[in-house]
Chains A and B, each alone.
Chain A
Amino acid sequence: MGELSAFSFLPGQSRLHWLDARIKLLGLLLISLLSLGAGGVSLAVLSVIMIVLAADSGLSLIRLAAELRYFFFLLLLVFIARSLSTPGETVWQWRLIHISVEGLVSGLLVCWRLLIVIVAGLLLVHTTRISRITGAVRWYLRPIPFVNETRVALMMGLVVRFIPGLLLRAKETADAQRARGVENRKNPIYRLRVLVIPWLKNIFLEADELVQAMQARGYTGRRTEPAFSLQRGDWVALTILFCLMVGLIYLNSI
């Protein structure tokens, strides 16, 4: 898990790399909101856009699938839960368990929507420096009263920055437990406990060390703001984004 890399920024020259972070963040927000109620046609349009953008930013479909392999288990669970819990015309039944056509369709749609949102988020993180993302978050949150935009942006930045590290640490802890024969213990709760407790302990210790390191480097919350300026390409992208949104809203309404 620690080798996950698309979840972190990779320098490049693609269109997404050049795009202003505020527009990418807005795009992610709008795509996420619209995909919640999107039907098959809208989702197909969004899927094509995601595939084209991923390819342009250097992420092949195989690489995307490999990066999201653990996420597919979650999608599978959602799909099964939807298939079993949605009433409708039964296609398969065994005792109390029955799967309906409506359940299969609904499960498929929910998983597709979640996949679109995840891929859009992944593309944002993969093509944008954390400092630009947090700068964009600060820019959007600044007019909102009672919200400490600097703190929110910092928390977001640190979470994104440390996801690969946390996964790597989890793998190291799991390997250390396996080296000491934890697989001989059949109780899953015991195995989870001996994995999670040292893992969390290490995370908290590292978080404490990180706070000290940040303070030592003069972090106070007041920082140089990234300079944003919309270029011609950004305006074009913004226009395309709004046209797309209007189109999708229309498609969702018919």
Chain B
Amino acid sequence: MSLIEIDNLACHFSDGTLALNAINLYIEAGSFVLLAGRNGAGKTTLLRHLNGLILPDSGEVRLEGVPVAQDLARVRQRVGMVFQDADSQIVGETVYDDVAFGPENLCWPDKKIKARVAATLASIGMSELAENRPHTLSGGEKRRLAIAGILVMDPEVIVLDEPFTNLDYPGTAQVLKTIADLHGDGRTIIITTHDIEKVFTLADRMVVMDQGRVVRDGSPLDVVYDVEQYGIRMPCALKVGSEVTAWAS
């Protein structure tokens, strides 16, 4: 049994447009999946099915064999989601408050929340920023805070929607290192990005979507030479015949 199983998933937007069509995907625990595709391909819509923010019109999404719709509270703890715009995800008045938001929703006791928040902030190197106000953080720090906000709930799967948007090089490197560390800890990572070069060496699987369908699925090296026909830029290094180097170790 795979950790996440998606069978014949279809979904329509409110205006009747078909957003996802006959998606079949099986994602193993501990894998690193790169989900690529042009704007409007259906990547974000697919991701939002994984923790029940959108429920299928037809087909089924299962987490550990249990349909997502059956136990949303459990699914939202097990599948953490980092949104494209970190600012819209941050709800706390301070960094500490924001990280504590998820555990408070899980009704954990106060002592446990304090301990978990402190441990999570330490694990991503943000302990010294605990009392800072989120809007004073840099872009990279905000994205790491968004990751901390879901990491504190100890999810098995971490879903990241375009995590490098609006980040400069240091910010991108910080976020990449955090993601690589999380994968190193054994967590399952599912990430969408237009800049596939940044996570190319980290991913062990690449799924390409186009017009609501999965059109390519395999190891990144097998899939990457076909991607330009789907509006995705192939890494420069491969175009000149050399190897893609890692952005973060």
Q: Which one of A18-26, A38-46, A99-107, A205-213 is at the B interface?
A: A205-213
A206 to B93 alpha-carbon distance, docked (Å): 17
> Is B88 a contact of A206 with CB atoms below 8 Å?
yes
Contact of A218 among B87, B94, B106 (CB under 8 A): B106
A168 to B135 alpha-carbon distance, docked (Å): 10
> Is A218 a contact of B76 with CB atoms below 8 Å?
yes
A61 to B35 alpha-carbon distance, docked (Å): 54
Contact of A224 among B48, B88, B113 (CB under 8 A): B113
Q: Which one of A88-96, A157-165, A172-180, A188-196 is at the B interface?
A: A157-165
The digit string for B73-96, where 1 denotes a CB below 8 A from any CB of A, is: 100110011010101110111100
Q: Name the A residues within 8 Å of B88 (CB-CB).
A: 206, 209-210, 213
B163 within 8 Å of A (CB atoms): no
Can you name the residue of chain A whose Cβ is closest to the Cβ of B79?
A216
> Is B102 a contact of A8 with CB atoms below 8 Å?
no
B53 within 8 Å of A (CB atoms): yes
Near A by CB (< 8 A), chain B positions 102-134 give: 102-110, 113, 131, 133
> Is B83 a contact of A129 with CB atoms below 8 Å?
no
- What's the minimum C-beta distance from B112 to chain A, rounded to whole angstroms? 9
Q: Name the A residues within 8 Å of B89 (CB-CB).
A: 209-210, 213
Q: Name the A residues within 8 Å of B105 (CB-CB).
A: 217-220, 222-223
Q: Name the B residues within 8 Å of A168 (CB-CB).
A: 135
A97 within 8 Å of B (CB atoms): no
- What's the minimum C-beta distance from A149 to chain B, rounded to whole angstroms? 16
Instruction: Given A130-B93, A224-B109, verify A212-B83 contact (CB < 8 Å).
Output: yes
Interface size (B, Cβ < 8 Å)?
36
> Is B91 a contact of A8 with CB atoms below 8 Å?
no
A79 to B21 alpha-carbon distance, docked (Å): 63
- What's the minimum C-beta distance from A169 to chain B, rounded to whole angstroms? 10
Instruction: Given A130-B97, A209-B83, verify A214-B91 contact (CB < 8 Å).
Output: yes
B51 within 8 Å of A (CB atoms): yes
A26 to B120 alpha-carbon distance, docked (Å): 35
Contact of B91 among A161, A164, A218 (CB under 8 A): A161
Contact of B101 among A129, A212, A217 (CB under 8 A): A217
- What's the minimum C-beta distance from A137 to chain B, rounded to whole angstroms? 15
Q: Name the A residues within 8 Å of B33 (CB-CB).
A: none
B190 within 8 Å of A (CB atoms): no
Can you name the residue of chain B whose Cβ is closest to the Cβ of A206?
B88
A37 within 8 Å of B (CB atoms): no
A231 within 8 Å of B (CB atoms): no
4 more contacts with CB within 8 A, not counting A214-B101, A223-B107, are: A8-B133, A129-B97, A216-B80, A218-B153
- List 27 interface pairs A-B (beta carbons < 8 Å), by A numbering: A8-B93, A9-B93, A9-B94, A10-B133, A11-B94, A129-B93, A129-B94, A130-B92, A160-B93, A161-B92, A206-B85, A209-B83, A209-B85, A209-B89, A212-B48, A216-B53, A216-B83, A217-B102, A217-B149, A218-B77, A218-B102, A218-B106, A219-B105, A223-B105, A223-B107, A224-B109, A224-B110
